[in-house]
Structure 1
Amino acid sequence: MIHLAAFALMALIWGVTWLPMKLASEVVPPIFLAATRFLLAASCFLPILLARGLPLRSAMFGRIVVASLLITTGCYGFLFWGVAVAPSGLSATVNLALMPIFLVVIGALYGQERITARRIGAIALGVAGLVLLFSGRNGAVQGGAMAALGLGAVAVGTVSYAWGSVISRPLTKAMPPMVLAFWQSLIGGLGLVPVSLALEGYDPARFAALADGRAILGLSVLVIGGSLFAFSIFLWLVRDWGAFRAGLYSFVSPIIAVVIGVVYAQEPFGWAETVGMGVMLAATALTLAEPKGAAGSERP
Protein backbone atom coordinates (compact mmCIF):
# COMPACT_ATOMS: atom_id res chain seq x y z
CA MET A 1 0.00 0.00 0.00
CA ILE A 2 2.85 2.42 0.79
CA HIS A 3 4.22 1.88 -2.73
CA LEU A 4 0.85 2.72 -4.28
CA ALA A 5 0.59 5.86 -2.15
CA ALA A 6 4.10 6.89 -3.18
CA PHE A 7 3.29 6.20 -6.83
CA ALA A 8 0.16 8.36 -6.59
CA LEU A 9 2.14 11.19 -4.97
CA MET A 10 4.85 10.99 -7.64
CA ALA A 11 2.31 11.05 -10.48
CA LEU A 12 0.49 13.96 -8.85
CA ILE A 13 3.67 16.01 -8.41
CA TRP A 14 4.90 15.41 -11.96
CA GLY A 15 1.44 16.28 -13.27
CA VAL A 16 1.49 19.55 -11.34
CA THR A 17 4.95 20.51 -12.67
CA TRP A 18 3.82 20.91 -16.29
CA LEU A 19 2.16 24.31 -15.91
CA PRO A 20 4.93 25.91 -13.77
CA MET A 21 7.52 24.54 -16.23
CA LYS A 22 5.59 26.10 -19.12
CA LEU A 23 5.45 29.44 -17.30
CA ALA A 24 9.17 29.36 -16.51
CA SER A 25 9.96 28.53 -20.14
CA GLU A 26 8.40 31.86 -21.12
CA VAL A 27 11.26 33.59 -19.30
CA VAL A 28 14.31 31.41 -20.08
CA PRO A 29 15.03 28.80 -22.77
CA PRO A 30 13.90 25.28 -21.83
CA ILE A 31 17.26 23.47 -21.87
CA PHE A 32 18.86 26.28 -19.82
CA LEU A 33 15.91 25.91 -17.45
CA ALA A 34 16.43 22.14 -17.22
CA ALA A 35 20.16 22.52 -16.53
CA THR A 36 19.45 25.09 -13.83
CA ARG A 37 16.79 22.87 -12.30
CA PHE A 38 19.01 19.81 -11.97
CA LEU A 39 22.04 21.70 -10.72
CA LEU A 40 19.88 23.41 -8.08
CA ALA A 41 18.40 20.02 -7.17
CA ALA A 42 21.89 18.56 -6.72
CA SER A 43 22.83 21.47 -4.46
CA CYS A 44 19.73 20.70 -2.35
CA PHE A 45 20.35 16.95 -2.25
CA LEU A 46 23.96 17.30 -1.06
CA PRO A 47 23.39 18.85 2.42
CA ILE A 48 20.58 16.37 3.07
CA LEU A 49 22.87 13.45 2.25
CA LEU A 50 25.72 14.85 4.34
CA ALA A 51 23.40 15.48 7.29
CA ARG A 52 22.17 11.88 7.10
CA GLY A 53 25.70 10.54 6.80
CA LEU A 54 25.00 8.71 3.55
CA PRO A 55 28.10 7.67 1.57
CA LEU A 56 28.54 9.32 -1.83
CA ARG A 57 31.17 6.95 -3.21
CA SER A 58 30.24 3.98 -5.34
CA ALA A 59 32.10 1.14 -7.03
CA MET A 60 29.65 1.50 -9.95
CA PHE A 61 30.44 5.13 -10.77
CA GLY A 62 30.84 4.39 -14.48
CA ARG A 63 27.26 3.11 -14.64
CA ILE A 64 26.11 6.16 -12.65
CA VAL A 65 27.62 8.46 -15.28
CA VAL A 66 26.05 6.56 -18.17
CA ALA A 67 22.64 6.41 -16.48
CA SER A 68 22.80 10.12 -15.64
CA LEU A 69 23.66 11.14 -19.20
CA LEU A 70 20.82 8.96 -20.53
CA ILE A 71 18.05 9.76 -18.04
CA THR A 72 18.77 13.49 -17.77
CA THR A 73 21.08 14.91 -20.44
CA GLY A 74 20.01 12.78 -23.39
CA CYS A 75 16.33 12.80 -22.52
CA TYR A 76 15.92 16.53 -21.93
CA GLY A 77 18.29 17.56 -24.73
CA PHE A 78 16.40 15.64 -27.41
CA LEU A 79 12.97 16.17 -25.86
CA PHE A 80 13.15 19.94 -25.53
CA TRP A 81 14.65 20.40 -28.98
CA GLY A 82 11.92 18.20 -30.47
CA VAL A 83 9.14 20.09 -28.69
CA ALA A 84 10.57 23.37 -30.01
CA VAL A 85 10.11 22.32 -33.66
CA ALA A 86 7.06 20.01 -33.47
CA PRO A 87 3.47 20.52 -32.20
CA SER A 88 3.49 20.30 -28.40
CA GLY A 89 0.39 18.08 -28.20
CA LEU A 90 1.80 15.55 -30.64
CA SER A 91 5.16 15.70 -28.88
CA ALA A 92 3.51 14.92 -25.54
CA THR A 93 1.53 12.06 -27.08
CA VAL A 94 4.66 10.55 -28.67
CA ASN A 95 6.70 10.88 -25.48
CA LEU A 96 4.09 9.52 -23.07
CA ALA A 97 2.78 6.77 -25.35
CA LEU A 98 6.23 5.42 -26.17
CA MET A 99 7.55 5.58 -22.60
CA PRO A 100 5.95 2.36 -21.24
CA ILE A 101 6.69 0.56 -24.52
CA PHE A 102 10.39 1.36 -24.37
CA LEU A 103 10.53 0.65 -20.64
CA VAL A 104 9.14 -2.85 -20.97
CA VAL A 105 11.12 -3.70 -24.14
CA ILE A 106 14.47 -2.42 -22.82
CA GLY A 107 13.69 -3.91 -19.41
CA ALA A 108 13.07 -7.28 -21.08
CA LEU A 109 16.40 -7.04 -22.92
CA TYR A 110 18.11 -6.54 -19.55
CA GLY A 111 16.17 -9.40 -17.95
CA GLN A 112 14.27 -7.06 -15.62
CA GLU A 113 10.81 -7.30 -17.18
CA ARG A 114 8.52 -9.79 -18.89
CA ILE A 115 6.39 -8.87 -21.89
CA THR A 116 3.00 -10.33 -20.99
CA ALA A 117 -0.46 -10.17 -22.55
CA ARG A 118 -1.66 -8.06 -19.61
CA ARG A 119 1.10 -5.52 -20.16
CA ILE A 120 0.54 -5.38 -23.91
CA GLY A 121 -3.15 -4.78 -23.27
CA ALA A 122 -2.40 -2.09 -20.69
CA ILE A 123 -0.04 -0.30 -23.08
CA ALA A 124 -2.62 -0.44 -25.89
CA LEU A 125 -5.28 1.00 -23.57
CA GLY A 126 -2.95 3.69 -22.29
CA VAL A 127 -1.91 4.78 -25.78
CA ALA A 128 -5.56 4.94 -26.86
CA GLY A 129 -6.34 7.04 -23.80
CA LEU A 130 -3.46 9.40 -24.52
CA VAL A 131 -4.63 9.90 -28.10
CA LEU A 132 -8.10 10.79 -26.83
CA LEU A 133 -6.74 13.02 -24.08
CA PHE A 134 -4.58 15.06 -26.45
CA SER A 135 -6.88 14.84 -29.51
CA GLY A 136 -8.05 18.42 -29.07
CA ARG A 137 -4.53 19.69 -28.42
CA ASN A 138 -2.53 18.16 -31.24
CA GLY A 139 -3.47 20.48 -34.09
CA ALA A 140 -2.31 20.02 -37.61
CA VAL A 141 1.25 18.96 -38.20
CA GLN A 142 3.04 21.96 -39.65
CA GLY A 143 6.66 22.34 -40.56
CA GLY A 144 6.87 19.25 -42.78
CA ALA A 145 10.20 17.46 -42.50
CA MET A 146 11.34 19.66 -39.61
CA ALA A 147 8.29 18.76 -37.52
CA ALA A 148 8.82 15.06 -38.32
CA LEU A 149 12.46 15.41 -37.28
CA GLY A 150 11.30 17.03 -34.05
CA LEU A 151 8.96 14.14 -33.27
CA GLY A 152 11.82 11.77 -34.01
CA ALA A 153 13.96 13.66 -31.48
CA VAL A 154 11.16 13.31 -28.92
CA ALA A 155 11.17 9.55 -29.53
CA VAL A 156 14.96 9.39 -29.12
CA GLY A 157 14.69 11.36 -25.88
CA THR A 158 12.08 8.87 -24.67
CA VAL A 159 14.38 5.94 -25.47
CA SER A 160 17.18 7.69 -23.59
CA TYR A 161 15.04 8.14 -20.47
CA ALA A 162 13.75 4.55 -20.59
CA TRP A 163 17.24 3.12 -21.08
CA GLY A 164 18.62 5.23 -18.24
CA SER A 165 15.78 4.12 -15.96
CA VAL A 166 16.41 0.44 -16.67
CA ILE A 167 20.16 0.54 -16.09
CA SER A 168 19.55 2.55 -12.93
CA ARG A 169 17.82 -0.38 -11.23
CA PRO A 170 21.02 -2.19 -10.15
CA LEU A 171 22.27 1.17 -8.86
CA THR A 172 19.17 1.61 -6.68
CA LYS A 173 19.97 -1.74 -5.08
CA ALA A 174 23.61 -0.78 -4.45
CA MET A 175 23.03 2.68 -2.91
CA PRO A 176 20.24 4.74 -1.35
CA PRO A 177 17.94 6.12 -4.11
CA MET A 178 18.49 9.67 -2.83
CA VAL A 179 22.25 9.33 -3.34
CA LEU A 180 21.63 8.16 -6.90
CA ALA A 181 19.20 11.04 -7.42
CA PHE A 182 21.96 13.45 -6.34
CA TRP A 183 24.50 12.05 -8.79
CA GLN A 184 22.03 11.86 -11.67
CA SER A 185 20.93 15.45 -11.04
CA LEU A 186 24.51 16.74 -10.80
CA ILE A 187 26.01 14.80 -13.73
CA GLY A 188 22.93 15.14 -15.92
CA GLY A 189 22.65 18.87 -15.17
CA LEU A 190 26.32 19.45 -16.01
CA GLY A 191 25.80 17.51 -19.23
CA LEU A 192 22.95 19.81 -20.20
CA VAL A 193 25.14 22.94 -19.96
CA PRO A 194 27.03 22.36 -23.26
CA VAL A 195 23.77 21.20 -24.89
CA SER A 196 22.14 24.49 -23.91
CA LEU A 197 25.12 26.50 -25.18
CA ALA A 198 25.11 24.64 -28.50
CA LEU A 199 21.37 24.86 -29.16
CA GLU A 200 20.34 28.03 -27.34
CA GLY A 201 23.53 30.09 -27.31
CA TYR A 202 24.83 32.18 -24.43
CA ASP A 203 23.07 35.23 -23.05
CA PRO A 204 24.04 36.56 -19.59
CA ALA A 205 20.60 38.18 -19.32
CA ARG A 206 19.15 34.71 -18.70
CA PHE A 207 20.68 34.62 -15.23
CA ALA A 208 18.93 37.88 -14.36
CA ALA A 209 15.71 36.44 -15.82
CA LEU A 210 15.83 33.68 -13.20
CA ALA A 211 14.68 36.32 -10.70
CA ASP A 212 11.39 36.66 -12.60
CA GLY A 213 8.41 35.39 -10.60
CA ARG A 214 7.54 32.81 -13.26
CA ALA A 215 11.05 31.37 -13.18
CA ILE A 216 11.12 31.32 -9.38
CA LEU A 217 7.75 29.55 -9.23
CA GLY A 218 8.71 27.07 -11.93
CA LEU A 219 12.10 26.22 -10.45
CA SER A 220 10.66 25.94 -6.93
CA VAL A 221 8.08 23.39 -8.07
CA LEU A 222 10.51 21.54 -10.33
CA VAL A 223 13.36 21.36 -7.81
CA ILE A 224 11.45 20.72 -4.59
CA GLY A 225 8.55 18.74 -5.97
CA GLY A 226 9.83 17.27 -9.22
CA SER A 227 13.37 16.38 -8.13
CA LEU A 228 13.68 16.18 -4.33
CA PHE A 229 10.41 14.30 -3.88
CA ALA A 230 9.11 12.79 -7.14
CA PHE A 231 12.44 11.72 -8.68
CA SER A 232 13.58 10.15 -5.41
CA ILE A 233 10.28 8.25 -5.24
CA PHE A 234 10.70 7.18 -8.87
CA LEU A 235 14.13 5.64 -8.23
CA TRP A 236 12.81 3.93 -5.10
CA LEU A 237 9.95 2.43 -7.11
CA VAL A 238 12.35 1.42 -9.89
CA ARG A 239 14.26 -0.55 -7.25
CA ASP A 240 11.19 -2.27 -5.78
CA TRP A 241 8.83 -2.46 -8.78
CA GLY A 242 11.02 -2.27 -11.85
CA ALA A 243 11.19 0.53 -14.41
CA PHE A 244 8.02 -0.42 -16.30
CA ARG A 245 5.59 -0.23 -13.39
CA ALA A 246 7.31 2.86 -11.96
CA GLY A 247 7.08 4.46 -15.41
CA LEU A 248 3.30 4.12 -15.51
CA TYR A 249 3.16 7.68 -14.18
CA SER A 250 3.12 8.54 -17.91
CA PHE A 251 -0.52 7.40 -17.95
CA VAL A 252 -1.47 9.31 -14.78
CA SER A 253 0.49 12.58 -14.70
CA PRO A 254 -1.02 13.83 -18.00
CA ILE A 255 -4.47 13.61 -16.43
CA ILE A 256 -3.36 15.90 -13.61
CA ALA A 257 -1.72 18.26 -16.09
CA VAL A 258 -4.84 18.48 -18.26
CA VAL A 259 -7.10 19.10 -15.24
CA ILE A 260 -4.81 21.91 -14.08
CA GLY A 261 -4.78 23.34 -17.59
CA VAL A 262 -8.57 23.32 -17.68
CA VAL A 263 -8.91 24.97 -14.26
CA TYR A 264 -6.16 27.59 -14.52
CA ALA A 265 -5.71 28.13 -18.26
CA GLN A 266 -9.28 27.48 -19.52
CA GLU A 267 -8.04 24.79 -21.91
CA PRO A 268 -10.71 22.80 -23.80
CA PHE A 269 -12.28 19.77 -22.14
CA GLY A 270 -14.95 17.45 -23.50
CA TRP A 271 -16.05 13.86 -23.91
CA ALA A 272 -12.79 12.76 -25.59
CA GLU A 273 -10.71 13.96 -22.64
CA THR A 274 -13.13 12.37 -20.17
CA VAL A 275 -13.04 8.99 -21.89
CA GLY A 276 -9.28 9.25 -22.38
CA MET A 277 -8.72 9.81 -18.67
CA GLY A 278 -10.83 6.82 -17.75
CA VAL A 279 -9.05 4.58 -20.23
CA MET A 280 -5.61 5.69 -19.03
CA LEU A 281 -6.50 5.05 -15.39
CA ALA A 282 -7.84 1.62 -16.36
CA ALA A 283 -4.56 0.85 -18.15
CA THR A 284 -2.58 1.85 -15.07
CA ALA A 285 -4.78 -0.17 -12.72
CA LEU A 286 -4.52 -3.21 -15.02
CA THR A 287 -0.75 -3.27 -14.64
CA LEU A 288 -0.48 -2.23 -11.00
CA ALA A 289 -2.84 -5.05 -10.10
CA GLU A 290 -0.78 -7.69 -11.90
CA PRO A 291 0.35 -10.63 -9.76
CA LYS A 292 3.84 -10.72 -8.32
CA GLY A 293 6.44 -12.32 -10.51
CA ALA A 294 5.66 -10.34 -13.66
CA ALA A 295 9.13 -8.84 -13.55
CA GLY A 296 11.96 -10.95 -14.91
CA SER A 297 15.01 -12.11 -13.03
CA GLU A 298 17.27 -9.10 -13.12
CA ARG A 299 20.70 -9.04 -14.66
CA PRO A 300 22.99 -5.98 -15.10
Structure 2
Amino acid sequence: MCLAWGLTFLPVKIAVVHVPPIFLAAARFSLAGLLLLAWAGRDAFKVPAQAWLRLAGTALLVNSCNYALLFWGMAHAPSGLAAIINMATIPIYTVLASRVIEGQPISGRRIAAVALGAIGLGFLFATRTLGGLSAAKGDGLEFWGLAAIALGTFCHCVGAVLSRKIAGTMPTLTLAGWQTAIGALGLILLSLALEPVSGTHLRALVEWPTAPALAFVVIAGSLIGFTIFLRLLRDWGAFYAGLFAFVSPVIAVGAGVVALGEPFGWPEAIGALLMFGAAAIALRK
Protein backbone atom coordinates (compact mmCIF):
# COMPACT_ATOMS: atom_id res chain seq x y z
CA MET A 1 0.00 0.00 0.00
CA CYS A 2 2.78 2.42 0.92
CA LEU A 3 4.62 1.59 -2.29
CA ALA A 4 1.49 2.10 -4.42
CA TRP A 5 0.52 5.38 -2.78
CA GLY A 6 4.10 6.66 -2.63
CA LEU A 7 4.62 6.09 -6.35
CA THR A 8 1.31 7.63 -7.52
CA PHE A 9 2.73 11.14 -7.19
CA LEU A 10 5.32 10.53 -9.93
CA PRO A 11 2.91 9.55 -12.76
CA VAL A 12 0.59 12.43 -11.81
CA LYS A 13 3.52 14.84 -12.09
CA ILE A 14 4.36 13.38 -15.52
CA ALA A 15 0.76 13.40 -16.79
CA VAL A 16 -0.07 17.01 -15.83
CA VAL A 17 2.54 18.16 -18.33
CA HIS A 18 0.33 16.82 -21.14
CA VAL A 19 -3.24 17.37 -19.88
CA PRO A 20 -4.87 19.95 -17.58
CA PRO A 21 -4.56 18.82 -13.94
CA ILE A 22 -8.24 18.93 -12.91
CA PHE A 23 -9.16 17.17 -16.16
CA LEU A 24 -6.68 14.43 -15.26
CA ALA A 25 -8.21 14.09 -11.79
CA ALA A 26 -11.69 13.88 -13.35
CA ALA A 27 -10.55 11.09 -15.68
CA ARG A 28 -8.94 9.19 -12.80
CA PHE A 29 -11.97 9.31 -10.53
CA SER A 30 -14.48 8.65 -13.30
CA LEU A 31 -12.72 5.37 -14.10
CA ALA A 32 -12.09 4.50 -10.45
CA GLY A 33 -15.68 5.28 -9.45
CA LEU A 34 -17.14 3.01 -12.10
CA LEU A 35 -14.74 0.20 -11.18
CA LEU A 36 -15.39 0.52 -7.43
CA LEU A 37 -19.17 0.47 -7.89
CA ALA A 38 -18.87 -2.53 -10.20
CA TRP A 39 -16.66 -4.18 -7.57
CA ALA A 40 -19.27 -3.50 -4.90
CA GLY A 41 -21.85 -5.36 -6.99
CA ARG A 42 -25.28 -5.56 -5.36
CA ASP A 43 -23.96 -3.71 -2.33
CA ALA A 44 -23.69 -0.57 -4.49
CA PHE A 45 -27.42 0.00 -3.98
CA LYS A 46 -27.35 -0.35 -0.19
CA VAL A 47 -27.37 3.39 0.53
CA PRO A 48 -30.00 4.61 3.03
CA ALA A 49 -32.18 7.39 1.64
CA GLN A 50 -31.28 9.74 4.49
CA ALA A 51 -27.55 9.29 3.82
CA TRP A 52 -27.47 10.60 0.24
CA LEU A 53 -27.16 14.31 1.08
CA ARG A 54 -24.22 13.79 3.43
CA LEU A 55 -22.71 11.28 0.99
CA ALA A 56 -22.80 13.85 -1.82
CA GLY A 57 -21.40 16.63 0.38
CA THR A 58 -18.52 14.53 1.67
CA ALA A 59 -17.75 13.32 -1.86
CA LEU A 60 -17.32 16.91 -3.01
CA LEU A 61 -14.95 17.60 -0.10
CA VAL A 62 -12.97 14.33 -0.06
CA ASN A 63 -12.57 13.97 -3.82
CA SER A 64 -13.67 17.05 -5.81
CA CYS A 65 -12.14 19.85 -3.73
CA ASN A 66 -9.21 17.81 -2.47
CA TYR A 67 -8.02 16.41 -5.79
CA ALA A 68 -8.72 19.52 -7.83
CA LEU A 69 -6.36 21.41 -5.51
CA LEU A 70 -3.92 18.49 -5.18
CA PHE A 71 -3.52 17.89 -8.92
CA TRP A 72 -3.33 21.62 -9.69
CA GLY A 73 -0.73 22.01 -6.97
CA MET A 74 1.30 19.10 -8.32
CA ALA A 75 1.42 20.79 -11.71
CA HIS A 76 3.48 23.53 -10.05
CA ALA A 77 5.26 21.87 -7.10
CA PRO A 78 7.71 18.97 -6.63
CA SER A 79 5.97 15.61 -6.25
CA GLY A 80 7.99 14.68 -3.15
CA LEU A 81 7.03 17.78 -1.20
CA ALA A 82 3.45 17.38 -2.38
CA ALA A 83 3.41 13.90 -0.84
CA ILE A 84 4.85 15.13 2.47
CA ILE A 85 2.34 17.96 2.80
CA ASN A 86 -0.55 15.77 1.67
CA MET A 87 0.08 12.70 3.82
CA ALA A 88 1.88 14.03 6.89
CA THR A 89 -0.78 16.68 7.53
CA ILE A 90 -3.71 14.23 7.42
CA PRO A 91 -3.39 13.17 11.11
CA ILE A 92 -3.00 16.81 12.19
CA TYR A 93 -5.92 18.16 10.16
CA THR A 94 -8.09 15.26 11.32
CA VAL A 95 -7.43 16.24 14.95
CA LEU A 96 -8.54 19.81 14.23
CA ALA A 97 -11.58 18.77 12.17
CA SER A 98 -12.67 16.30 14.86
CA ARG A 99 -12.48 19.04 17.47
CA VAL A 100 -14.54 21.56 15.47
CA ILE A 101 -17.11 19.15 14.01
CA GLU A 102 -17.46 16.46 16.66
CA GLY A 103 -16.32 18.36 19.74
CA GLN A 104 -13.58 15.86 20.53
CA PRO A 105 -11.12 17.26 23.10
CA ILE A 106 -7.60 18.09 21.99
CA SER A 107 -5.04 16.90 24.52
CA GLY A 108 -1.77 18.67 25.23
CA ARG A 109 0.01 16.02 23.18
CA ARG A 110 -2.14 16.76 20.15
CA ILE A 111 -1.69 20.51 20.58
CA ALA A 112 2.05 19.81 20.44
CA ALA A 113 1.50 17.83 17.24
CA VAL A 114 -0.34 20.74 15.60
CA ALA A 115 2.37 23.21 16.67
CA LEU A 116 5.20 20.97 15.48
CA GLY A 117 3.40 20.38 12.18
CA ALA A 118 3.03 24.13 11.67
CA ILE A 119 6.78 24.61 12.19
CA GLY A 120 7.47 21.77 9.76
CA LEU A 121 5.26 23.39 7.13
CA GLY A 122 7.15 26.62 7.70
CA PHE A 123 10.42 24.92 6.78
CA LEU A 124 8.87 23.31 3.71
CA PHE A 125 7.61 26.70 2.53
CA ALA A 126 10.76 28.58 3.54
CA THR A 127 12.77 28.39 0.31
CA ARG A 128 9.68 29.21 -1.77
CA THR A 129 8.91 32.26 0.36
CA LEU A 130 12.50 33.49 0.43
CA GLY A 131 13.27 32.66 -3.20
CA GLY A 132 15.97 30.11 -2.39
CA LEU A 133 17.35 27.08 -4.20
CA SER A 134 14.12 25.18 -4.74
CA ALA A 135 12.20 28.25 -5.83
CA ALA A 136 14.88 29.19 -8.33
CA LYS A 137 14.79 25.73 -9.91
CA GLY A 138 11.02 25.32 -9.72
CA ASP A 139 7.83 26.82 -11.07
CA GLY A 140 6.91 30.44 -10.39
CA LEU A 141 3.67 29.21 -8.82
CA GLU A 142 5.40 26.61 -6.64
CA PHE A 143 4.49 28.33 -3.38
CA TRP A 144 0.82 28.52 -4.35
CA GLY A 145 0.94 24.93 -5.55
CA LEU A 146 2.06 23.75 -2.12
CA ALA A 147 -0.56 25.97 -0.47
CA ALA A 148 -3.24 24.45 -2.69
CA ILE A 149 -2.14 20.95 -1.66
CA ALA A 150 -2.35 21.91 2.03
CA LEU A 151 -5.85 23.36 1.55
CA GLY A 152 -6.98 20.34 -0.45
CA THR A 153 -5.77 17.97 2.27
CA PHE A 154 -7.74 19.96 4.84
CA CYS A 155 -10.88 19.58 2.70
CA HIS A 156 -10.24 15.83 2.59
CA CYS A 157 -9.97 15.59 6.38
CA VAL A 158 -13.13 17.62 6.98
CA GLY A 159 -14.99 15.38 4.54
CA ALA A 160 -13.58 12.24 6.16
CA VAL A 161 -14.74 13.32 9.63
CA LEU A 162 -18.20 14.17 8.28
CA SER A 163 -18.31 10.73 6.63
CA ARG A 164 -18.09 8.94 9.98
CA LYS A 165 -21.79 9.43 10.68
CA ILE A 166 -22.81 7.49 7.56
CA ALA A 167 -19.87 5.04 7.38
CA GLY A 168 -21.66 2.44 9.48
CA THR A 169 -24.91 2.66 7.51
CA MET A 170 -23.58 1.04 4.31
CA PRO A 171 -20.81 -1.31 3.14
CA THR A 172 -17.39 0.38 3.06
CA LEU A 173 -16.88 -0.35 -0.64
CA THR A 174 -20.28 1.21 -1.39
CA LEU A 175 -19.32 4.39 0.46
CA ALA A 176 -15.97 4.55 -1.34
CA GLY A 177 -17.54 3.87 -4.74
CA TRP A 178 -20.20 6.55 -4.50
CA GLN A 179 -17.85 9.11 -2.97
CA THR A 180 -15.45 8.49 -5.85
CA ALA A 181 -18.15 8.62 -8.55
CA ILE A 182 -19.86 11.75 -7.19
CA GLY A 183 -16.45 13.34 -6.66
CA ALA A 184 -15.64 12.61 -10.30
CA LEU A 185 -18.78 14.49 -11.38
CA GLY A 186 -17.67 17.49 -9.35
CA LEU A 187 -14.21 17.34 -10.92
CA ILE A 188 -15.72 17.20 -14.42
CA LEU A 189 -17.76 20.35 -13.72
CA LEU A 190 -14.72 22.14 -12.26
CA SER A 191 -12.57 21.19 -15.24
CA LEU A 192 -15.18 22.41 -17.74
CA ALA A 193 -15.52 25.69 -15.83
CA LEU A 194 -11.84 26.41 -15.20
CA GLU A 195 -9.73 24.66 -17.85
CA PRO A 196 -9.39 24.91 -21.65
CA VAL A 197 -9.99 21.21 -22.37
CA SER A 198 -9.72 20.27 -26.05
CA GLY A 199 -9.82 17.21 -28.27
CA THR A 200 -6.04 17.08 -28.05
CA HIS A 201 -6.28 16.49 -24.31
CA LEU A 202 -8.85 13.73 -24.82
CA ARG A 203 -6.50 11.99 -27.24
CA ALA A 204 -3.59 12.46 -24.83
CA LEU A 205 -5.41 10.33 -22.25
CA VAL A 206 -4.90 7.26 -24.45
CA GLU A 207 -1.39 8.13 -25.63
CA TRP A 208 2.09 7.85 -24.14
CA PRO A 209 2.98 8.87 -21.46
CA THR A 210 -0.42 9.93 -20.09
CA ALA A 211 -2.21 6.60 -20.65
CA PRO A 212 0.15 4.45 -18.53
CA ALA A 213 0.33 7.19 -15.88
CA LEU A 214 -3.47 7.32 -15.68
CA ALA A 215 -3.70 3.52 -15.57
CA PHE A 216 -1.20 3.39 -12.72
CA VAL A 217 -2.98 5.94 -10.51
CA VAL A 218 -6.35 4.25 -11.14
CA ILE A 219 -5.20 0.66 -10.61
CA ALA A 220 -2.42 1.09 -8.04
CA GLY A 221 -3.68 4.20 -6.26
CA SER A 222 -7.46 3.87 -6.25
CA LEU A 223 -8.08 0.13 -6.51
CA ILE A 224 -5.10 -1.75 -5.06
CA GLY A 225 -3.89 0.82 -2.53
CA PHE A 226 -7.33 1.81 -1.29
CA THR A 227 -8.55 -1.78 -1.04
CA ILE A 228 -5.49 -2.76 1.02
CA PHE A 229 -6.06 0.29 3.22
CA LEU A 230 -9.67 -0.73 3.90
CA ARG A 231 -8.51 -4.25 4.80
CA LEU A 232 -5.83 -2.89 7.14
CA LEU A 233 -8.33 -0.49 8.65
CA ARG A 234 -10.61 -3.44 9.39
CA ASP A 235 -7.92 -5.80 10.70
CA TRP A 236 -5.39 -3.44 12.30
CA GLY A 237 -7.39 -0.34 13.18
CA ALA A 238 -6.86 3.31 12.27
CA PHE A 239 -3.56 3.71 14.14
CA TYR A 240 -1.56 1.06 12.29
CA ALA A 241 -3.30 1.67 8.97
CA GLY A 242 -2.39 5.37 9.29
CA LEU A 243 1.33 4.62 9.46
CA PHE A 244 1.48 5.01 5.66
CA ALA A 245 1.90 8.74 6.43
CA PHE A 246 5.55 8.02 7.31
CA VAL A 247 6.50 5.62 4.53
CA SER A 248 4.69 6.79 1.38
CA PRO A 249 6.12 10.36 1.41
CA VAL A 250 9.67 8.97 1.66
CA ILE A 251 9.02 6.82 -1.41
CA ALA A 252 7.54 9.82 -3.24
CA VAL A 253 10.54 12.02 -2.40
CA GLY A 254 13.00 9.36 -3.58
CA ALA A 255 11.10 8.80 -6.82
CA GLY A 256 10.94 12.54 -7.51
CA VAL A 257 14.64 13.09 -6.86
CA VAL A 258 15.78 10.08 -8.90
CA ALA A 259 13.34 10.21 -11.82
CA LEU A 260 12.69 13.95 -12.16
CA GLY A 261 15.74 15.52 -10.50
CA GLU A 262 13.56 17.42 -8.04
CA PRO A 263 15.45 19.60 -5.54
CA PHE A 264 15.47 18.48 -1.91
CA GLY A 265 17.72 20.55 0.36
CA TRP A 266 18.23 20.82 4.11
CA PRO A 267 15.17 23.07 4.76
CA GLU A 268 12.98 20.44 3.10
CA ALA A 269 14.68 17.64 5.06
CA ILE A 270 14.17 19.44 8.38
CA GLY A 271 10.59 20.27 7.49
CA ALA A 272 9.88 16.65 6.54
CA LEU A 273 11.33 15.34 9.80
CA LEU A 274 9.23 17.79 11.81
CA MET A 275 6.11 16.85 9.85
CA PHE A 276 6.76 13.14 10.46
CA GLY A 277 7.30 13.88 14.14
CA ALA A 278 4.02 15.80 14.31
CA ALA A 279 2.18 12.96 12.58
CA ALA A 280 3.73 10.47 15.04
CA ILE A 281 2.47 12.49 18.00
CA ALA A 282 -1.01 12.87 16.47
CA LEU A 283 -1.28 9.18 15.60
CA ARG A 284 0.15 7.85 18.84
CA LYS A 285 -2.25 5.70 20.86
CA RMSD of aligned residues (A): 3.7
Find 1:206's aligned residue among 201, 207, 211: 201
**Structure 2 Cα separation of the partners of residues 73 and 261 of structure 1:** 25
User: How far 1:219 sits from its partner (Å)?
Assistant: 1.2
Q: Check 1:46–1:89 CA distance in 2 against 1; reply closer, same or farther (3 A cut).
A: closer
**Structure 2 Cα separation of the partners of residues 154 and 220 of structure 1:** 22
User: How far 1:116 sits from its partner (Å)?
Assistant: 1.6
**Structure 1 Cα separation of the partners of residues 260 and 11 of structure 2:** 12
Map of 2:111 onto structure 1: 120
Deviates more, 1:29-38 or 1:169-178: 169-178
Aligned residues of 1:89 and 1:134 also touching (Cα < 8 A): no
User: How far 1:26 sits from its partner (Å)?
Assistant: 1.5
Q: Check 1:178–1:89 CA distance in 2 against 1; reply closer, same or farther (3 A cut).
A: closer
1:179 aligns with 2:174: yes
User: How far 1:37 sits from its partner (Å)?
Assistant: 0.2
Deviates more, 1:200-209 or 1:17-26: 200-209
CA displacement 1:38-82 (0-9 Å, x = unmatched): 0100121132211xx424231111111111011111222344455
Find 1:54's aligned residue among 28, 32, 43: 43
Deviates more, 1:119-128 or 1:20-29: 119-128
Unaligned runs of 5+ in 1: 1-8, 291-300
Find 1:218's aligned residue among 209, 213, 217: 213
Aligned residues of 2:69 and 2:149 also touching (Cα < 8 A): yes
CA displacement 1:233-262 (0-9 Å, x = unmatched): 5567778866x9977755543222111122
Unaligned runs of 5+ in 2: 128-132
Q: Check 1:28–1:115 CA distance in 2 against 1; reply closer, same or farther (3 A cut).
A: same
**Structure 2 Cα separation of the partners of residues 222 and 90 of structure 1:** 16
TM-score when normalising by structure 1: 0.74
1:13 aligns with 2:10: no
**Structure 1 Cα separation of the partners of residues 108 and 56 of structure 2:** 34
SS at match of 1:105: helix
SS at match of 1:168: helix
**Structure 2 Cα separation of the partners of residues 121 and 67 of structure 1:** 28
Aligned residues of 1:130 and 1:251 also touching (Cα < 8 A): no
CA displacement 1:144-188 (0-9 Å, x = unmatched): xx8887776555433322211111122222222211111011100
Alignment of 1:63-212 (within 5 A): 63-81=54-72, 92=82, 99-111=90-102, 113-129=104-120, 132=123, 138-139=134-135, 153-212=148-207
Map of 2:279 onto structure 1: 284
Identity score, percent: 42
Q: Check 1:273–1:152 CA distance in 2 against 1; reply closer, same or farther (3 A cut).
A: closer
